[in-house]
Structure 1
């Protein structure tokens, strides 16, 4: 199975959008819509997991190990850096407790003692709480026949979201896993099912979806409209579905730089805030123009994340590589995982 370049480019786009969002936030600019990169990531995650489950004969335990080895080591390392920095006083606003650190490392939603928000020590790691929960439910679905898996996962997530609409609780776990944003994983799975069956939209309609999605994101940004999963979610779905339509029609070119950034997207997402914080603070202390500081923060965040991918993520992923399953029906290249 060939690399799906459109998905690679969207991963790069989503990661860089989050970088711009945080760089703008730290330098007094406005690019709140960049946070919608998370919505794109969630739709892509659902798509990729469903496609992988069709190509690999993995047990639930093997699936979970594969996910943990790709997600956890680099996240644990970045969290350790945050904790060390907090202990050394490098992050004056960071309050540390044992409970918060342990919960962060094990992807358990709790409130941060620093802000009261449901955030881990490494703030952007909040999305990984959703990712790991999705992986657990998806792994459990592997016990079922394939024809029931999509229905089962969709039923679980839909039930959780509905319970959040009819029940009230301030429990961080309940508040996290009843958010409608979780449905983005499910829609991504349905898109994956359509992709596997060759039931994709025509390229003209796909291009229209991409244009409408980008236009929608721009409208939310330009007019400073409220944004959440209710509007960003459908736009992310349209962007992914439209891109896959263009991919199926052979309208997506192969650009190595963007494909590489897609591979590095996870490390960029995890590490970029370290560079942004340093550059924003330095720019402010020396009186650098905010626009220049913003641009430098964007570049610095992307560069640090890319270096982390080369120097940390790839070696750690190989170090914890699981043994090759005895029977793989259709191997999937690493770039798609």
Structure 2
């Protein structure tokens, strides 16, 4: 029997959510203030592994129908995302985002998680650029819900087979179609990896403390090396590092080695709102820093603080009221229960 927090909260996963959200905030703040922190984008890889982990834990601990699962996901994801997208559209119509080109088709596709090319840049981005990750999340949820109709023993391997086949097609077939390019990227395998980690964790097959610390150290050191040395990276690089970080962390959690720390728990709770809303504040502060002639380092720090502040405010004033009385959410806002 292993120790666990009295509350049952997976504090380590909360800290990883906070870590991933901060990495993305740093990435965008650096980008807008003339610094280089490209590795911060790998926070998305950590998010995807966590998402696969948590979805598997949720449905195994509390069986749910495919329809109920999708309704829960929609309730969790859609209202806040639509609101943030609406703010972008309103801002563009008001002339606040002069580089944002709006079309009815692009706005509709953005709202309904359909990957198409942005008329502003030609990239496969929605109106709210960071919403590109939600296209993957919703696709994962859709396939996951379909696999819930299968016996439990077949679900993981069915998901692995479907996503593996899609990635294989992407490697051998050439196409410029946005849907094909999006859903054949190897990044989708990170969801499957998270599910596999969950399966191992639920079965008690986790490494001991020394190896768990080694895995966490390997993940952090790998990300740090990429950032400091400015090495090229993609999902083939960051996916394994994210898996090592998550697997090591939940192993430490299983051994009762992670205490509760208020600040990272709060940031973990608010990670979805931080992710969606931080760029609004960063853009304003970064532009103000240029107009006021602030040193780039100060502009960066202020941008990070503003992004976090707006994200936390959005969580308390928008997301939490919308979800009050709701069920489990994206990246485990609600506590996930452990077994000893």
TM-score computed with the length of structure 2 as normaliser: 0.94
Question: 1:186: which partner in 2?
Answer: 192
Matches within 5 A, 1:1-337: 2-318=8-324, 321=326, 334-336=334-336
C-alpha distance in structure 2 between counterparts of 1:67 and 1:168, whole Å: 32
Which SS does the other structure have where 1:68 is aligned?
helix
Instruction: Give the distance between the partners of 2:106 and 2:78, measured in 1 at CA.
Output: 17
- The SS at the match of 1:282 is helix
Secondary structure of 1:198's counterpart equals: coil
In structure 2, relative to structure 1, the CA distance for the partners of 1:303 and 1:78 (3 Å cut) is: same
Contact 1:206-1:246 at 8 Å conserved across structures = yes
Measured after TM superposition, the shift of residue 316 of structure 1 is: 1.0
Using the alignment, how far apart are the partners of 1:225 and 1:39 within structure 2?
A: 17
Gaps of 5+ in 2: 1-6
Deviations 1:274-298 (A, max 9, x none): 0000000001001111110000000
Whether the 8 Å CA contact 1:3–1:333 is kept in 2: the answer is no
Assess if the C-alpha contact under 8 Å between 1:8 and 1:336 holds in 2: no
- Which digits, 9 at most, give the CA deviation of each residue in 1:223-263, with x for residues without a partner? 11001101111100000011111111111111122111111
Deviation at 1:126, TM superposition (A): 0.2
Task: Give how far 1:57 is off.
Answer: 2.1
Q: Give 5+ residue unaligned stretches, structure 1.
A: 325-331
Number of residue-to-residue matches in the alignment: 328
Cα distance in 1 between the residues matched to 2:294 and 2:263: 30
Report the Cα distance in structure 1 between the residues aligned to 2:165 and 2:252, rounded to whole angstroms.
33
Return 243-252 or 160-169, whichever deviates more: 243-252
C-alpha separation between the residues in 1 aligned to 2:168 and 2:336? 32
Could you tell me how far 1:333 is from its partner in structure 2? 7.8
Preserved CA contact (<8 Å) 2:269 2:333: no
CA contact (8 A) 1:20 1:31 kept: yes
Contact 2:148-2:155 within 8 A present in 1 as well: yes
Kept after mapping to 2: 8 A contact 1:4/1:247: yes
State the partner residue of 1:328.
Answer: none
* Native 8 Å contact 2:8 2:335 kept in 1: no
- Backbone CA RMSD of aligned residues: 1.4
Distance apart, 1:318 and its partner CA: 2.5
